[in-house]
Structure formats: structure tokens, C-alpha cells
């Protein structure tokens, strides 16, 4: 049997678990059975601890030595339960795949805390194959001592019940969309519409009056429904406090990751505008999926200089990638690569 083990609760629909539940959904159509490690269920600390131990015991009985397990990494649980999960459930499987969503040792401190780095490498080296976001993350992990076969994903897939389709190529749009945690993304308070560019925001914010009057704020929308609102514009991938550069710890982490909002935008059928030093930037450039920039102040000039022919080519590339993301093609291809490695 082939199992994908997720810690996302199946009935939770917010953006924090969207990438996990989408992988569950897509691999369930590709021969994998979805199992849940219940890391968060329970009304208090004691009940959550009990449910985690019960869940580990249940999974230990299900997974057999001849099975394949795919784990959505990291498992957000206590250190004790996380180690118990790996030692009791994961290591007994014949074939082990990790899909990396986050790397806490890089996300939470830079440079990484040595003990955190060693602990995560030990866990990742339990796997035969580790699927990572991009080539930058791959080389970073190999350089730090990852011994497993490392496979790059390219972009996360993104399920949406509504697929936006471009039948006619519109005039070049100046609308720029940003969706995410606006409280964390402090740069939004420094945004101002300029010339042909108008910004549209979705997400939680402490005080919408902190936004410039030129900014259009649309509130919050469930992650599965958001793509239908993102029509005829550009999707922005940015982080930190400033508009002239991506700064702080979030900026350092952005150099290694594929932010999930990149997939949100492309699944909606719109091109992206990405920080040039982001880990996902090369994939965007190589596949002609949008613009890469050093500063948000570049956006008006970059859009205005595009010819309609160039814009049309970008939209066609986005449409092709959109079809891949909404069908789960990226994770299926990466998992098939891992499976084929065992057969060679």
C-alpha cells in the first residue's frame, strides 16, 4: 500500500493547510491512501497529547514493512511525539518520501541554530527521497548534509473548483493583486497606486485605515474561492516591511522557498511579479510566467514597457502552467520520480 500522512485536519479549509490538503486530494487520485496524524485535535493540552499518542499507535498498526509512506514535512507536534512518530511509523516502511512545506531551522532564525539544523537533518535523512521547492533549496540542503535523493517540485499545485479561462487576450492590465497575511506583510502600508498601477489586497489586517487611499482592500475570502476574484491582473509575491527591497527574516527565507501564493495566482490564470532574489524567481523566468523585480517601484515601468505580444506570450505560458497546477501534475510528477528511483 501507498500512504500519504498529513497532519492537516481534513475539515480545515484555511490557507495555512491548503497546500497539505491539496496534496492529499491529488495523491488520493494517484494510488495513495490518505492517513492523518492528529497533531492538533483536542480541546486542551492533555486531550491533544492523548490524541497524538493514540494516532501514532493507530498509524503504527496500519503501516507495514512493505508499504510506501509519504510524509508532509514538517510534522507540527511536540518534540517527543514527533520523534515517536518517525521511530514508530515512518522508519518501518519500505519506501519513504518527504514533501517539504517548511524548513523551520531556516524560517525561524538566520543563520540557523545549530541544534535545530542537526535535528531536522537527522529527520530528513530518514527518507529515501525528499521533495523540495526549488533548486536553491535543494543545493542548500545538500550543502548542509542531506543524503537522501532530492527532487525539486517547481511549484505547489493548487486545487480550485473554479478555473478562470482567458478566451480573448485583454489589454495589458495594471492591476496588481496581493493576497495573504497583511498583518505580517507590513510593506502593504507603504504601497501607493502609481500611474497605470492599482493595488488590490485580500487578507487579514489590523487596521485597513493604515492603507493608502489608492489601495483597494477586499477583505478575506476562503482560499479555495479566492482564485475566481483574481482576474485580469498580476499576482505579487513579496515580503517584509519595505517596498524597495525584501527585508528581514522573511526576506532571507524567501530566497529558498516557493511561496504558496505563487501557485494561487497562477492557478487563477494570472501572471506573477516576484522578487528577483526569491527561490522561485528562476522558475518564473525560465517558464515565462511573469516579471522578476528588485523593487516594487519598478512595477509601473516594467508593465508599461511590455508589448502586447510579450504580454500575450506570458498569458499563454500561465494558462499552460495553470492546467498543471489545478490537476496536481507537479506533485504527481515529483512522486513518480521518487518511485522510479527505487525501481532502477
For residue range 18-27, list pLDDT tens digits in order: 999 999 999 9
Q: Where are the beta strands (DSSP E) in 74-214?
A: 95-100, 129-132, 149-152, 175-179, 198-202
pLDDT for 189: 92
Q: How confident is the model at residue 256 (pLDDT cuts 50, 70, 90)?
A: very high
Write down the pLDDT at residue 30.
97
User: Which residues share a beta bridge with 73?
Assistant: 100
- Asked whether residue 344 carries a pLDDT value surpassing 70, the answer given is no
Hey, is 250 helix, strand or coil?
Answer: helix
Q: Are residues 311 and 169 in contact, defined by beta-carbon separation less than 8 angstroms?
A: yes
Tell the residue number behind the cell numbers 523566468, with chain if given: 285
Neighbours of 45 (CB within 10 A): 9
Cell of 299: 512595477
Average pLDDT of every residue of the chain:
91
Q: For residue 13, is pLDDT > 60?
A: no
CB distance 90 to 71 below 8 Å: yes
Q: In this prediction, what percent of the chain has a pLDDT beyond 70?
A: 95
**Residue 112: which pLDDT band, with cuts at 50, 70 and 90?**
confident
DSSP-derived pairing of the beta strands 272-275 and 290-293 = parallel
Between 8-17, 211-220, 304-313, the lowest mean confidence (pLDDT) is in 8-17
Peptide bond into 233 cis (omega under 30): no
Per the DSSP assignment, residues forming a β-bridge with 316 are none
How far apart are alpha carbons 135 and 157 in whole angstroms? 17
pLDDT, mean of residues 66-84: 93
Q: pLDDT tens digits for 118-150?
A: 999 999 999 999 999 999 999 999 999 999 999
Q: Distance (Å, rounded) from C-alpha 261 to C-alpha 181?
A: 11
**How is 43-95 classified by DSSP, letter by letter?**
SSHHHHHHHHHHHHHHHHHH--TT-EEEEEESP-S-HHHHHHHIIIIITTSSE
Q: Compute the 3-state secondary structure of the chain and give helix, strand, coil in percent, each to the nearest 5.
A: 40, 15, 40
Q: What is the mean pLDDT of residues 181-191?
A: 91
Q: What is the signed CA dihedral for 115, 118, 123, 126, rounded to 10 degrees?
A: -160
Residue 225 scores a pLDDT above 90: no
The span from the CA of 226 to the CA of 14, in Å, is 11
Instruction: Give the distance, in angstroms, between the CA of residue 16 and the centroid of all CA atoms in the same chain.
Output: 10
For the cut 90, the answer to whether the pLDDT of residue 178 exceeds it is yes
Please tell me the pTM assigned to this model. Answer: 0.93
Q: For CA atoms 110, 131, 272, 328, give the dihedral sign.
A: negative
* Backbone Cα Rg of the chain: 21
Amino acid at each position: 500500500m501507498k500512504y500519504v500522512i498529513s497532519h492537516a485536519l481534513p475539515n480545515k479549509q484555511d490557507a495555512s493547510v491548503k497546500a497539505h490538503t491539496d496534496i492529499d486530494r491529488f495523491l488520493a487520485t494517484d494510488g495513495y491512501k490518505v492517513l492523518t496524524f492528529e497533531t492538533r485535535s483536542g480541546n486542551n493540552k492533555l486531550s491533544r497529547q492523548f490524541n497524538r499518542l493514540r494516532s501514532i499507535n493507530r498509524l503504527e498498526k496500519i503501516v507495514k514493512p512493505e508499504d510506501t509512506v509519504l510524509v508532509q514535512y514538517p510534522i507540527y507536534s511536540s518534540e517527543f511525539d514527533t520523534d515517536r512518530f518517525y521511530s514508530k511509523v515512518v522508519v518501518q516502511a519500505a519506501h519513504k518520501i518527504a514533501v517539504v512545506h517548511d524548513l523551520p531551522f531556516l524560517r525561524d532564525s538566520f543563520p540557523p541554530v545549530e541544534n535545530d539544523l542537526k535535528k531536522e537533518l537527522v529527520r530528513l535523512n530518514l527518507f529515501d527521497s525528499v521533495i523540495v521547492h526549488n533548486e536553491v533549496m535543494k543545493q542548500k540542503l545538500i550543502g548542509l548534509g542531506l543524503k537522501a535523493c532530492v527532487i525539486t517540485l517547481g511549484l505547489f499545485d493548487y486545487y480550485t473548483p473554479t478555473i478562470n479561462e482567458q478566451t480573448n487576450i485583454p489589454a495589458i492590465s495594471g492591476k496588481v493583486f496581493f493576497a495573504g497575511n497583511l498583518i505580517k506583510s507590513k510593506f502593504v502600508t507603504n504601497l501607493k497606486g502609481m500611474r497605470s498601477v492599482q493595488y488590490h489586497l485580500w487578507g487579514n489586517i489590523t487596521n485597513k485605515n493604515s492603507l493608502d487611499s489608492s489601495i483597494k482592500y477586499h477583505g478575506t475570502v476562503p482560499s479555495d474561492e479566492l482564485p475566481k476574484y483574481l482576474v485580469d491582473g498580476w499576482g505579487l509575491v513579496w515580503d517584509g516591511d519595505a517596498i524597495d527591497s525584501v527585508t528581514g527574516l522573511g526576506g532571507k527565507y524567501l530566497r529558498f522557498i516557493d511561496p504558496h501564493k505563487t501557485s494561487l495566482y497562477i492557478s487563477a490564470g494570472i501572471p506573477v511579479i516576484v522578487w528577483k532574489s526569491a527561490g522561485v524567481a528562476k522558475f518564473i523566468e525560465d517558464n515565462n510566467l511573469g516579471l522578476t523585480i528588485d523593487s516594487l517601484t519598478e512595477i509601473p515601468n516594467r508593465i508599461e514597457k511590455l508589448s502586447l505580444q510579450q504580454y500575450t506570450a506570458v498569458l499563454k505560458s500561465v494558462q499552460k502552467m495553470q492546467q498543471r497546477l489545478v490537476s496536481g501534475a507537479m506533485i504527481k510528477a515529483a512522486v513518480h520520480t521518487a518511485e522510479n528511483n527505487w525501481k532502477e
